[in-house]
Amino acid sequence: MAPPILKRYLLALNRYKWPGLIGFLGVFGVSAVVALKPPPPPQYEASGSLVQNAPLVAFTATGTEVQQRGQGIITPEFLLADVLLQQVSQELANQGIELDPREIRNNATVEVEGEDGEAQRVEVSFIWGDAEVAETALSLLFEGMVELSRVTNRARLRAIIEALNERLPEIEAELRRAEQALEAYDRIEGPAIQAAVDGSLLGAISGSQQQRRQNVITLAGIEAQMLSLMQRLGMTPDEAYASSALSADPIIANLRTQIHQTETELRLLSATLKPTHPRIIELRQNLQGFTNLLNQRAQEVIQGGGQTAALPASNQIRVTSNLDPARAALANQLVALSTQRDTLLQQQEVLQQSEEQLRQQYASLPNKQLERQRLAQQVALKQALYDQIQAKRIDAQAAEAETVSSLSIAEPPQATLQEQELNNPIAILAIGGLLGVVVGGAIVFLLDVLDSTIRTVEDLQGILRDREVPTLGMIPAIKLRSPRQVPFLLQPESSYGEAYERLRSNLRLVSDEAGSSPRMILIASAQDKEGKTVTAFNLGIASARAGRRTLIVEADLRNASAAHHLGITPDSQANVEPLRYYSGHVGECIRMVPQVENLYISPSPGPQQHSAAIIESSEMQRFLKDAYGRFDMVILDAPALSHSNDAMLLEVQTDGMVLVTRPGKTEKAILNTALDQLEETEDFSLLGAVINDAPVSVSAATNVEPVTADTVAEDLMVDRDSDEAPAVSRVDF
């Protein structure tokens, strides 16, 4: 038996043979073009070398440093700079040789040999079809490289001089600023240091402390008086201020008098007049108006009118504005004491801040001398830096006169003929064929990886095993003599009946372990074309032949009935009134299959647009409940899980679901999504899965002796294009 991965690859090769063949032919065609390519013309290689160069006598340190750095920047990119290639191309053009800079760069090779980042030797070669042109071009390259190194060194020196000249004014300005800072410090901090030394600073600190102690004693007396007044008045200073202001306002006093008069008259008249009397109503309106005016005036006084400070708000206007002269005097005294206390507190804060400043001045005295020493050191450092830059600038100006190139020609260019290896066409074709096979196989493998369809039985079993879904049966692929036949096992001697009989017995074993025997089973699949309808019909046939009174319910109301394949003609009125059909008022919803004893079928009234409503109807529930009591086995053929939730609605009325899968049709993502949906549903019973249309022999699927091909056609005696079939019908194979 072939390994699963080999079996899967062979299936993929059968599906994607044309893309793989195209990949093979493409690679082999390229190798054929390379093998038949004519040999290239002869090429000449001109080569030479450059070595590092130094001046004979060096008088300056800057010149030696620039020379060493010039050797460190020598790289292939530097020696083949665009400006150099442009100059060489123009010089060659003047000599009648047409070479653009791009051709020179592509045919030139530069190798730098050296240690510690310094070039000790530079090997340069140039390849061209003419020996004289190669030598001439390389000679001009050598001259340009030497001149480029000299110009670079001189430009570096000039850049150093310019940088020093640019920085010198800034350094000189910093030196002058440091000197001025020292002078300013001596002028400003000198008197402060002297004041700390002669003792006047300590005297000021002692006087501030004495004044603060005196203020504390005064504050204690003021707070005692305020506490006594607050207890007498029952007010805070802010409340006393607001009450005094309200009591002193003449408008508020006038309004209070009018309110008092109105209230007095209202009490007197209320004893003799009814509340609806005009005079009573008028007095109440006047009282409300005076009250509103009182509140409005009180708000104006409290808010200050925009010209004075706002007073604390109070909700009891009449109470707070009714101070007698004695209490008003006490309130004014309380406000005056509060103002005096705030004055002393502010004075305490000012004295504390002044004392802290004096203490800080005294504490900073030791640092002032250190600060002066630091400023003096800054002046010395700036002076030293200024002197160093002046010396460096003079040295660089002197080094400009002794600047030379960092390279010199050690070996002049010499041209030699290159030896060329001829290609072996046979070897190239063989390698191309091998690569073509690899590329073609890789294309097939990649396309198979991108295909989400489960192709082999082993892969399907692995997924079901990982999801802990038991495999109830494996149905072998049913061979049909004619494409017009349908795989319904109507003949009792069918060799494929054993597979469905094993499926039926496995269902009973699974349910026995759960404690009950299923009598109503839902057959569904994750998607179309997986064979749920064939499985439901053939399982019903196997159950009927086992002596059990079996009913097949076509619960896929979204498609037309397939009962005509069993010789049953669906009722034409069922499609118009499906609810009356299932309630028994229109036609017969349960029909006996004439070719199989004990087998009955309930044809679908589909296609229906509102199938979910029909499934959830009371007529359907009564029909299924009645069928559950009348038959030994009820099999429901439900729609695919990926298309609708009809199967989920039907499952709650059954003993469990059987999920039908099919190698070559079932997609991994859709199957996993369906299983996740079933796992997330509460109280859902998944009895197991069936692998339909498995590419195995009948004996391998049922552990019985294999059958011959002559007995296969006898199992299938019903044509798809029967005259009794409706115009629109579909069997989920």
* Mean pLDDT value across residues 255-271: 81
The dihedral region occupied by 662, where left means phi > 0, alpha psi between -120 and 50, and beta the remainder, is beta
Asked whether residue 109 is domain-assigned, the answer is no
Token couple for 436: 């073509």
Residues 232 and 252 in one domain: yes
Rounded-to-integer distance, Cα 550 and Cα 153, Å: 103
476 DSSP β-pair partners: 694
- Inside any domain, residue 8: yes
| 96-133 confidence digits (pLDDT tens) | 888 888 888 888 888 888 765 555 788 888 888 888 88
| Domain CATH for 627 | 3.40.50.300
Strand order across the beta sheet in which 108-115 lies:
108-115, 118-128, 44-52, 407-417
Instruction: Provide mean pLDDT across the span 610-618.
Output: 91
- Whether residue 233 is found in the same domain as residue 306: yes
∠ CA 539-540-543, nearest 5°, is: 85
Task: Kindly provide the b/e burial profile for residues 130-162, where b requires at least 16 CB atoms within 10 angstroms of the residue's own CB.
Answer: ebebbbbbbbbbbebbbebbbebbbebbeebbe
**Which segment, 141-150, 311-320, 325-334, is predicted with the most confidence on average?**
141-150
pLDDT at residue 54 in the model: 63
Least confident segment among 430-439, 483-492, 618-627? 483-492
Instruction: Say if residue 530 is in the same domain as residue 615.
Output: yes
Q: What separation in angstroms does the CA of 718 have from each of 595, 710, 713, 714?
A: 11, 17, 10, 10
Give the 3-state secondary structure of residue 482.
coil
For residue 618, what pLDDT is reported? 92
Is residue 532 in some structural domain? yes
Residues 443 and 505 in one domain: no
Same domain, 500 and 357: no
Dihedrals φ, ψ of 172, to 5°?
-65, -40
Residue 581 burial by CB count (10 A; 0-12/13-18/19+): exposed, middle or buried?
buried
pLDDT-based confidence at residue 63 (cuts at 50, 70, 90):
low
Residue in this structure with the two tokens 């118009």, named with its chain if needed: 576
Q: Show the domain range for 541.
A: 457-482+496-556+576-598+610-705
For the residues 469-491, what does the mean pLDDT come to?
81
Return the pLDDT at 550: 95
Q: Can you tell me the distance from the alpha carbon of 500 to that of 474, in angstroms, rounded to the nearest whole number?
A: 9
- Of 63 and 383, the structure prediction assigns the larger pLDDT to 383
CB distance 516 to 656 below 8 Å? no
Q: Could you report the per-residue pLDDT of 656-669, keeping only the tens digit for each?
A: 999 999 998 888 88
* Per-residue pLDDT tens over the stretch 527-565: 988 889 999 999 999 999 999 999 999 999 988 988 888
**Residue 347 and residue 555: Cα distance in Å, rounded?**
97
Of 532, 524, 506, 564, whose CA–CA distance to 646 is shortest? Answer: 524
Confidence category of residue 410, pLDDT binned at 50, 70, 90: confident
State phi, psi for 572 to the nearest 5 degrees.
Answer: -70, -25
CB 557 within 8 A of CB 607: yes
For the cut 80, the answer to whether the pLDDT of residue 201 exceeds it is: no
Q: Is residue 507 part of a domain?
A: yes
Q: What is the number of domains present in the chain?
A: 3
Same domain, 473 and 445: no
Residue 409 lies in a domain: no
What average pLDDT does the segment 428-449 reach? 78
Task: Let me know whether 269 and 291 are in one domain.
Answer: yes
Half-sphere exposure of residue 136: CA atoms within 13 angstroms, side-chain side: 17
Same domain, 513 and 652: yes
Q: Picking from 207-216, 543-552, 633-642, which range would have the lowest pLDDT averaged per residue?
A: 207-216
Domain check: are 441 and 466 in the same one? Answer: no
How far are the Cα atoms of 421, 475, 477, 534, 698 from residue 706, in angstroms, in the given order?
64, 14, 13, 22, 6
pLDDT recorded at residue 272: 84
Among candidate residues 536, 531, 467, the one with its CA nearest the CA of residue 686 = 467
> Phi-psi category of 105—alpha, beta or left, where left has phi over 0 and alpha has psi -120 to 50?
alpha
CB 704: neighbour CB atoms within 10 A? 13
pLDDT score at 520: 92
List pLDDT tens digits, range 264-313. Answer: 888 888 888 888 888 888 888 888 887 888 777 777 777 765 444 444 44
Boundary of a domain, candidates 347, 362, 377: 362
178-193 mean pLDDT: 80
- Whether residue 291 is contained in a domain is answered as yes
What is the pLDDT at residue 309?
47
Quick one: 345 and 214 in the same domain?
Answer: yes
- Local confidence band at 82 (pLDDT 50, 70, 90 cut-offs): confident
Is 224 part of any domain? Answer: yes
Spatial CA neighbour of 184 closest among 364, 360, 357, 375: 375
As a whole number, mean pLDDT of residues 215-225 equals 86
- Considering the domain architecture, whether residues 427 and 326 belong to the same structural domain is answered as no
CB atoms within 10 A of CB 233: 19
- Domain assignment of residue 222, yes or no: yes
DSSP-based three-state secondary structure for 296 = helix
Pair (327, 228) in one structural domain = yes
